[in-house]
Amino acid sequence: MMDLSCYLGLSTILFVIGLFGALTKRNAIVVLMCIELMLNAVNINLVAFSRFLDPGQLLGYLFVIFTIAVAAAEVAVGIALVLVLNRYRETVNLDDFIWLKG
């Protein structure tokens, strides 16, 4: 039977993979996917803690639904920005977007 530590281990591995990808990759779409991976790792934590620590309450599941909604909005805005920047600069390399800083 799987206990809480198994879910926390899986979540930690997914979060570290997402963090590593977000910090090292230069493709904007890959960075967005890595951020989504990190958010899914947080969702696994929320559901695991909700299930094992307080099985009668739905608070963890409600936070997961809220996180999924925020993630969907983040992806929609992020992809729209990447498409617009790709149209003007014809690249999705993050190093080429340094002109956005100011």
Higher pLDDT, 97 or 26: 26
CA–CA separation, 49 and 45 (whole Å): 6
pLDDT tens, residue by residue, 61-101: 999 999 999 999 999 999 999 999 889 888 889 888 887 77
This prediction has a pTM of 0.88
| Number of structural domains found in the chain | 1
Here the CATH number for the domain that contains residue 81 is 1.10.287.3510
| Contacts (Cβ under 8 Å, ≥6 apart) of 46 | 60, 61, 63, 64, 67
Residue span of the structural domain in which 38 resides: 4-101
Exposure pattern of 24-48 as b/e (b: 16+ CB <10 Å)? eeeebeebbebbbbbbbbbbbbbbb
